[in-house]
A = this chain, B = another copy of it.
């Protein structure tokens, strides 16, 4: 619609400036020292909703970081779209690998570099600006609700309680989320599923204190060596995961589904070149897209123990630690897999060490039906602005609250993500293309326009 394009064109510099202001707030939910920044960011989100034309916007305190709710109800008989997003971001370290400050956004080659640029500030903010565009051009034809939380990156520990206690408030006809990626701007796509997550931390204790590796070396279990052996045992020579029962509940994709997936554009040489690797690595018998989409995985997210400073220290450490997470696919249960992971690490501990294994957080896998009115509206919206039909793809990431929303609110979710896999989510130099940011703001109103009940 030309009015949307015109409005965007007139206000695009301000839209960008507003996003940059939001990106300057270091809203890292995982770190206690950012508690105040989280509050500051929640207020900024609330204010932005009011400024965009919401009737009301409220900050709900939780046991953790606050949730921002906002709404614009134009007619209760019209469809209501609930937009979910998150204003918290991942920690920024390792800081030394950033080319510019993670919370000092810079524009370079048409891209916004900052922590949260894509995940998820840049993406949820498209919905705020789309709302403004529709309100100011008198073209809004749905009710809109916003639920923007501050704990997505730590597993949304307090969202379930909030949702259960505010079912009426959150009542809607569909949930719309922009927190995923497209294959590319040339190959627009829609995620039809996200993987689940089980995240644990393992602590291995050998001797009760750090020891001299010469005096005691060879006579007592070294917790790093033992932890390494435990980790090494998690994948077999075909890179299948060996944890007992891990694949029990996996729904295998049919040959037809896999054939359809194989038609998505993918260039292995380009993929390898982008990552700077000479060879790929993964479960035997599956393609890259299958490995990151329809198969569960187990990844090491962190490891530490002993002396990690400059130079050499001949210590046999008392403790070693690892952070480990699994991505899950339908019909796996995060609770079940977390339990299996915890049990596995405890059960394989050899005599001479003690193992503590604890859950960080988890989330269930989620699939969205592609024959629903909501999916069709998203596909039409993308066709309207990209000029071609989007490809349905299975995403590798996790949005732990999807299963919760479905269960508590009885709603289906549609993912309209405008990021790219190369946006360095969770990594140094996270970015978001300005083009994509504007494209999202241009596309979202079409979803509102095309979405039909029933």
Contact = CB atoms under 8 A, between A and B. Distances in A.
How many copies altogether?
Answer: 2
A207 interface: yes
A100 to B, nearest CB: 15
B312 A199 contact: yes
A281 B321 contact: no
Given A93-B309, A228-B232, A292-B215, A315 B427 contact: yes
Contacts of A222: 281, 299-300
A327 B213 contact: yes
Interface string A341-369: 00000000011110000001100000000
A10 interface: no
A427 B301 contact: no
Contacts of A411: none
Interface stretch (A127-135, A270-278, A384-392): A270-278
Contacts of A360: 311-312
Contacts of A351: 278-279, 281
Interface residues of A, number: 101
A379 interface: no
Interface in A303-340: 303-317, 320-323, 325, 327
Interface string A415-439: 0000001001111110000000000
B312 A325 contact: yes
A91 B313 CA distance: 7
Nearest to A398: B214
Given A213-B325, A224-B302, A396-B217, A280 B426 contact: no
Contacts of A396: 212, 214-218
Contact of A299 (B218, B281, B309, B350): B218
B312 A308 contact: no
A181 interface: yes
Interface in A145-176: 153-155
A446 B180 CA distance: 78
A211 B275 contact: yes
A302 B308 contact: yes
Interface string A367-402: 000000000000000000000000000011110000
A407 interface: no
A213 B90 CA distance: 13
Q: Which of A32, A215, A277, A295 has the most CB of B within 10 A?
A: A215
A217 B297 contact: yes
B352 A214 contact: no
Contacts of A321: 308
Contacts of A197: 214, 314
A30 interface: yes
A252 interface: no
A303 B303 contact: yes
A318 to B, nearest CB: 8
A441 interface: no
B312 A323 contact: yes
B427 A327 contact: no
Sort A-B residue pairs by CB-CB distance and give the 5 closest, nearest first. A208-B276, A214-B397, A218-B297, A30-B311, A279-B351
11 contacts: A32-B310, A91-B311, A93-B309, A216-B275, A218-B296, A277-B352, A299-B316, A303-B304, A303-B305, A303-B308, A304-B308
Interface of A: 30-32, 90-91, 93-94, 97, 153-155, 181, 194-195, 197, 199, 201, 206-222, 224-225, 227-229, 231-235, 275-283, 288, 291-292, 295-297, 299-317, 320-323, 325, 327, 350-353, 360-361, 395-398, 421, 424-429
Given A91-B311, A214-B397, A301-B317, 20 more contacts: A31-B309, A32-B310, A154-B311, A207-B277, A210-B426, A212-B396, A212-B397, A214-B395, A214-B396, A214-B398, A218-B299, A219-B291, A220-B280, A227-B303, A228-B229, A228-B232, A229-B231, A281-B351, A303-B303, A304-B308
